[in-house]
Chains A and B, each alone.
Chain A
Amino acid sequence: MTRQLTGSPAATAQAVPAPQRRGRWSGRTRRDFFVFLALALPNLALIAVFTYLPLINNMYYSTLDWTLGSTSATVVGIDNYVTFFTSSDAPQVLGTTLIFTVVTVGGSMALGLLVALALNAKVRGTTFARSAVFAPYVLSGVGVGLVWLFIFDPGYGVLSWLLRGIGQQSPQWINDPQLSLVMVIIVYVWKNLGYCAVVYLAGLQSLPKDVMEAASLDGANGFRRFMSISVPLLSPTTFFLLITTMISSLQAFDLIRIMTPLGNGTSTLIYEAYLQAFGAYNRAGYSAAISVVLFAILLIITVLQLRFVERKVHYS
C-alpha cells in the first residue's frame, strides 16, 4: 500500500504539475512571437534573397561546366574543384591571397596601432590629424586606385620623378607581377590603416586610467605599460579588427581591379573568381567553385578565430 505523503517535497512535486517544456505556447508568448516575426521577417527575407539564395545558387553553379552567356551547361559534380586544386592556379592564387591577406591585415593593424598611439597624444591638431588619417578609408577605391596608378607610373608618375631626382630608375610597378602585388598592398594598407587607427584610438581612450596610474607609481615605464597593460586590454579591439580586416582583405576587389586589370601577380581568390567568370574566360562554373573555396576559407577562419583566438581576449 502506498502511503500518502502530504507536506513532503515529493508530495508537493506531485501536487504541482511540472512545467510543460514543449507544450503549446501561452497567448502572450505567441503574441510576442508574432511581434518578433513581424519585425524580423522582412530582414530575414532580405538576407535570404540577397545572401543565402545567391550562396546556394553559387554552390549549384560550381557543379556545372557552364560558359557565362550560354543557356546550357553540363553537370560535372566536383570536377571544377578538382581542376582548381590540381592546376597551377591553386598554389598561385592561394599563395597570392595568403600574402595579400597577411601583409595587409598585419600592416593595417600594426600601423593603425602606431598611428592611434600618436593620435592619442594630447597635442594640438589631433582632431585634424584624426580626420586626415581616416579620410582615405571613406574614399572610393576606384579613385584611390587611379591616383596611386599615376603615382606609381614608371614613365611619368610622381614616384618616378622623385627617383629620377636621385639618379634612380623607377621599378616596373605595373608590369612586373611581383612588384604589382607590392604596389597594391601598399595602397590597400594606406587606404585601410585609418580604419584600424580610429578603432584602436577608441580602444586606447577607453583604457582604465587608474590601472595606468598604478603601474606608473609602481615604476613601469611607458613601453612596459604599453606591452603589459595596453596591449592585453586592447585585445577585444584587436580581436574585432582581426576578424573585420581579414574578411575585408579576403574580399578586396576594387583596388586590384583598377590597378592591375589583368590580375597578373595580384590574382587573389576573389579576383580570380571574377576573372574566370566575367573576365576573358567566361568559365562561370569554375568561377563559382573558386567562390565556394573562398567562402569555405572565410567560414573556417571566422570559426577558428571565434573558437580559439577569442579565448585569449581580455574583456575586462
Chain B
Amino acid sequence: MAMNLDRRNFLGLAGLGVGAAALAACGGPSTSGSAASSSPSDIDFTGVKPAGSFDFWTSHPGQSQAVEQSIIDKFQAKFPDIKVNLVTAGANYEEIAQKFQTSQAAKSALPGLVVLSDVWWFRYYTNGNIIPLDGLIKQLDVKIDDFQKSLVADYQYANKQWALPYGRSTPLFYYNKDHFKAAGLPDRAPKTWQEFAEWAPKLQASSGAKYAYIYPALAGYAGWTLQNNLWGWGGSWSNGWTFNCDSTESVTALQWAQDSIYKDKWAGVSSKNAADDFSAGITSTTISSTGDLLGVLKSAKFNVGVGFLPGGPKAETNVCPTGGAGLGIPSGVSKEVQLAAATFLKFMTEPENTAAFSAATGYMPTRVSADMTAVLAKTPQIKTAMDQLAVTKVQDNARVFLPGADQEMAKAAAKILTQQGDVKATMTDLKATLDGIYTKDVKPKLKS
C-alpha cells in the first residue's frame, strides 16, 4: 500500500503524538479517591521471608557514616543473607525528605529503611508513605519498653508506632568556660534566662566576644530551639491543634528575645551555624543540638561547658524539646523488603549499637539499657545531655505536624530578631498562616 505522507498528514501525526503525550501526562497521582491518610491495619508478615538486600537511606546525622557502616558490617556478619546498601540520600533531613518524596511520586527506587526527622515523619504518615511498626515490633520481639520513653513516644499516633528513634537529639546550652571564669561567673549554665540577662553584660565586658549569646541560625530549625523561650514564658507555638503563638505569653517571650538583641544588645543571631560561631569564639554561649557536641569539643580552642536549657519566668524546668530523627519503613516496598529492613532496624537500635552511635556522634542513646560507661569516660559532657532527657517535652504540634510550619516560624523569627519587626503583628500573621496550613493540608487528612 502506497504511503500518502504529506505535510498535513505529518502535522496530524505530530498532533496525535502530542495528544498521546498529554494523555500520558495524566498518569500522575490518582484523582479518584480521597486524599485522607491510609491507616493500614497491622500487616501480617507470617510466612514472609526477608529480602536478600535493601537500601538504607540516611543523611548520616552527626557525621555518622563510618559508625553506620561499622554497624552494618556487624549486621552482615550476623545475618549474611540480608545485604544492607548504605545510601547517602542527602546532606540533611530536608534533602533526604526531598528524595524520599520524589521517589514516592515516581513510585520507584524506594528504600527499605529511611531516616525521617521530627518534622517529616507525620506527613509520611498522612500520605500513607510509611507502615506502622507494631506488627514487626511484636514479630521480631523488639524491646520497645527499653527505649527512652519520650523519644519513642514522639513517633506514636493513632495508637500506632510509626518509627523508632535513631539519631535523637535535644538542644543543649553551650558555654565558654574561660569566658565565664574571666567574668567571675559560676561554672554552670544559667538556671533561667533572667539570670543570664544579669550575667550577659559581665560576659560582654570581659570576654572580648562579639555576643554574650547567639540565637541559632534561622535556617537551622529556629522553630525548634525557640520553643525553649516560648515554654519558659508559658507560651508555645500551639496547644494541641490550637495555634496560640500570638498569645500574650508567646509574644512576651519573643519580645524579650528581641530586646536582648536590640535593646540590651548582648545577643545576636547566627547567620549559618551557631555551633560554629560558638567554636570560633564569636559568642560566649549558644544553644545547639546535642548532635553538635563532639564537633564543638573537637574544634573549640577553649574549655567547653554544657548545661540544661535555661527556664523562664513561668517555667524553670521542662523547657527542652526533643528532636532529631528516627527510622521508618516505607509502605511502597514489598513485605520481604519491609521484613529485612525491620530486622536491621531492630539490630541498629540494640543497646550496644545505640551506644556506639552515640559515642561517635553525640546523639542520645535511645535505649535505657545502653551501656554508656566507656562513652561517658571519654566524653563526660554527654551525661548532661542524657540527664536532660528526663526534663524534655514533646514538641508543639504546630512545628512537627504542619508541613512548612517550621519554615514559617523561621521567617517570623527573622522578622522579629533580625528586622526588629512588631512581635504581636508578626505572631498574629504567623497564627493565620498556621491556621491555614492546618485547615488545608492537615485537617482533611486526619482520621475523625
Q: Which residues of A contact B (CB under 8 A)?
A: 22, 24-25, 30, 33, 48, 52-53, 56-57, 59-61, 64-75, 149, 153-156, 172-177, 260-262, 264, 275, 278-284
Q: Given A52-B18, A279-B94, are A176 and B419 also a contact pair (CB < 8 Å)?
A: yes
A129 to B361, CA, bound (A): 47
Q: Given A72-B29, A153-B271, A284-B105, are A53 and B21 also a contact pair (CB < 8 Å)?
A: yes
The answer to whether A72 and B129 touch across the interface, beta carbons within 8 angstroms, is no
Q: For residue B129, which residue of chain A has the nearest CB? A: A69
- With a cutoff of 8 Å between Cβ atoms, the chain A residues found around residue B405 in the complex are 280
Query: B182 CB to closest chain A CB, in angstroms?
Result: 21
* Residues of A contacting B: mostly: loop
Q: Given A53-B24, A60-B26, A172-B418, are A282 and B123 also a contact pair (CB < 8 Å)?
A: yes
A156 to B25, CA, bound (A): 50
Query: B143 CB to closest chain A CB, in angstroms?
Result: 31
List B residues 185-214 near A (Cβ within 8 Å): 210
- With a cutoff of 8 Å between Cβ atoms, the chain B residues found around residue A264 in the complex are 218, 410-411, 414
The answer to whether A155 and B282 touch across the interface, beta carbons within 8 angstroms, is yes
Q: For residue B105, which residue of chain A has the nearest CB? A: A68
Query: B282 CB to closest chain A CB, in angstroms?
Result: 5
Most buried by B among A53, A71, A153, A264: A71
A153 to B214, CA, bound (A): 14
B277 interfacial contact with A, CB 8 Å: yes
The 7 A-B pairs with the shortest beta carbon distances in the complex, nearest first, are: A69-B101, A281-B404, A174-B271, A175-B418, A73-B29, A57-B25, A280-B404
The answer to whether A172 and B269 touch across the interface, beta carbons within 8 angstroms, is yes
B247 interfacial contact with A, CB 8 Å: no
A282 to B22, CA, bound (A): 24
Q: Which residues of B contact A (CB under 8 A)?
A: 4-6, 8, 10, 17-18, 21-22, 24-26, 28-35, 94, 98, 100-102, 104-105, 107, 119, 123-124, 126-129, 210, 217-219, 269-272, 277, 280, 282, 403-407, 410-411, 414, 417-419, 441
| Cβ-neighbour of A69 out of B21, B105, B282 (below 8 A) | B105
A61 to B119, CA, bound (A): 25
The answer to whether A73 and B441 touch across the interface, beta carbons within 8 angstroms, is no
The answer to whether A71 and B418 touch across the interface, beta carbons within 8 angstroms, is no
Q: For residue A68, which residue of chain B has the nearest CB? A: B101
- With a cutoff of 8 Å between Cβ atoms, the chain B residues found around residue A284 in the complex are 105
The answer to whether A280 and B31 touch across the interface, beta carbons within 8 angstroms, is no
The answer to whether B94 and A280 touch across the interface, beta carbons within 8 angstroms, is yes
Q: For residue A63, which residue of chain B has the nearest CB? A: B31
Q: Given A69-B123, A69-B129, A282-B101, are A155 and B24 also a contact pair (CB < 8 Å)?
A: no
A149 to B26, CA, bound (A): 42
A106 to B11, CA, bound (A): 41
The answer to whether B128 and A175 touch across the interface, beta carbons within 8 angstroms, is no
A25 to B8, CA, bound (A): 12
A278 to B99, CA, bound (A): 9
A71 to B101, CA, bound (A): 11
The answer to whether A69 and B6 touch across the interface, beta carbons within 8 angstroms, is no
| Pairs across A and B, CB under 8 Å, 27 listed | A24-B6, A25-B6, A52-B18, A64-B29, A66-B28, A66-B29, A67-B403, A67-B441, A68-B104, A70-B104, A71-B30, A72-B29, A72-B30, A72-B33, A73-B31, A74-B31, A149-B272, A175-B418, A176-B414, A177-B414, A177-B419, A262-B410, A262-B414, A278-B98, A279-B404, A280-B407, A284-B105
- With a cutoff of 8 Å between Cβ atoms, the chain A residues found around residue B418 in the complex are 172, 175-176
Query: A49 CB to closest chain B CB, in angstroms?
Result: 8
- With a cutoff of 8 Å between Cβ atoms, the chain A residues found around residue B417 in the complex are 175
A61 to B28, CA, bound (A): 8
A50 to B26, CA, bound (A): 16
Additional pairs, 19, CB under 8 Å, beyond known A48-B21, A149-B272, A172-B269: A52-B18, A53-B25, A59-B25, A60-B26, A64-B28, A65-B35, A68-B105, A69-B101, A69-B104, A69-B124, A69-B129, A73-B31, A176-B414, A176-B419, A261-B219, A264-B411, A279-B404, A280-B404, A281-B441
The answer to whether A56 and B25 touch across the interface, beta carbons within 8 angstroms, is yes
Q: For residue B17, which residue of chain A has the nearest CB? A: A48
| Cβ-neighbour of B35 out of A57, A72, A282 (below 8 A) | A72
Most buried by B among A60, A149, A275: A60
- With a cutoff of 8 Å between Cβ atoms, the chain A residues found around residue B124 in the complex are 69
Q: Given A60-B28, A65-B35, A280-B407, are A175 and B269 also a contact pair (CB < 8 Å)?
A: yes
A153 to B102, CA, bound (A): 33
- With a cutoff of 8 Å between Cβ atoms, the chain B residues found around residue A278 in the complex are 98, 101-102
Query: B389 CB to closest chain A CB, in angstroms?
Result: 27
Q: Given A30-B5, A67-B127, A264-B410, are A281 and B21 also a contact pair (CB < 8 Å)?
A: no
A57 to B21, CA, bound (A): 9
The answer to whether B277 and A70 touch across the interface, beta carbons within 8 angstroms, is no
Query: A102 CB to closest chain B CB, in angstroms?
Result: 24
Query: A63 CB to closest chain B CB, in angstroms?
Result: 9
Q: For residue A30, which residue of chain B has the nearest CB? A: B5
The answer to whether A67 and B6 touch across the interface, beta carbons within 8 angstroms, is no
A10 to B128, CA, bound (A): 80
| Cβ-neighbour of B29 out of A70, A156, A174 (below 8 A) | A70
- With a cutoff of 8 Å between Cβ atoms, the chain A residues found around residue B419 in the complex are 176-177
Q: Given A155-B280, A283-B441, are A72 and B31 also a contact pair (CB < 8 Å)?
A: yes
The answer to whether A33 and B441 touch across the interface, beta carbons within 8 angstroms, is no
Query: B443 CB to closest chain A CB, in angstroms?
Result: 13
Q: For residue B36, which residue of chain A has the nearest CB? A: A72
Q: For residue A24, which residue of chain B has the nearest CB? A: B4
The answer to whether B271 and A52 touch across the interface, beta carbons within 8 angstroms, is no
The answer to whether B410 and A70 touch across the interface, beta carbons within 8 angstroms, is no
- With a cutoff of 8 Å between Cβ atoms, the chain A residues found around residue B406 in the complex are 280
